């Protein structure tokens, strides 16, 4: 199983879109994944805050690693989002996806994005085993 977790982590590290954004995959274990990103000027929206799409993408990378650790191959079936904070340029955001429940075809996750101890966004995601 350890080999599989390392393989998933390596796939996340080689994801072209995640790399383009600057997402850093840090850890994958069964039912869990953590990723981070340092906010730069390029990540801001027109209002001067980190773009919601960036925060969602960071959470999605963690979610994809965590779902892959439970079911392979897998895809996201649904994600609900609550944005509840913001961060500044130079801040480090950390996304953690944690398995809450699973069945033969579905997996359910809570994903949180934090800046230090401050909650920036929370997500509920459902993964679907394709085969």
Contact between residue 55 and residue 44 where contact means Cβ atoms under 8 Å apart: no
pLDDT at 1: 55
pLDDT for 2-61, tens place per residue? 569 999 999 999 999 999 999 999 999 999 999 999 999 999 999 999 999 999 999 999
pLDDT at 73: 84
pLDDT at 3: 61
Q: 10 Å Cβ neighbour count for 101?
A: 10
pLDDT for 73-124, tens place per residue? 888 999 999 999 999 999 999 999 999 999 999 999 999 999 999 999 999 9
- If phi > 0 it is left, if psi is from -120 to 50 it is alpha, else beta; for residue 31 that is left
Contact between residue 102 and residue 128 where contact means Cβ atoms under 8 Å apart: no
């Amino acid at each position: 199983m350890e080999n599989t977790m390392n393989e998933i982590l390596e796939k996340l590290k080689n994801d072209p879109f995640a790399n383009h954004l600057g997402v850093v995959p840090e850890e994958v274990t069964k039912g869990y994944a953590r990723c981070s990103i340092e906010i730069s000027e390029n990540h801001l929206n027109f209002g001067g805050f980190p773009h919601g799409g960036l925060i969602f993408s960071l959470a999605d990378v963690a979610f994809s690693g965590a779902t892959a650790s439970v079911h392979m191959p897998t895809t996201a079936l649904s994600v609900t989002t609550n944005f509840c904070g913001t961060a500044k340029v130079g801040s480090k955001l950390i996304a953690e996806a944690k398995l809450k429940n699973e069945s033969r075809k579905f997996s359910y996750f809570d994903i949180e994005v934090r800046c230090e101890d401050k909650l920036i966004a929370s997500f509920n995601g459902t993964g679907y085993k394709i085969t």
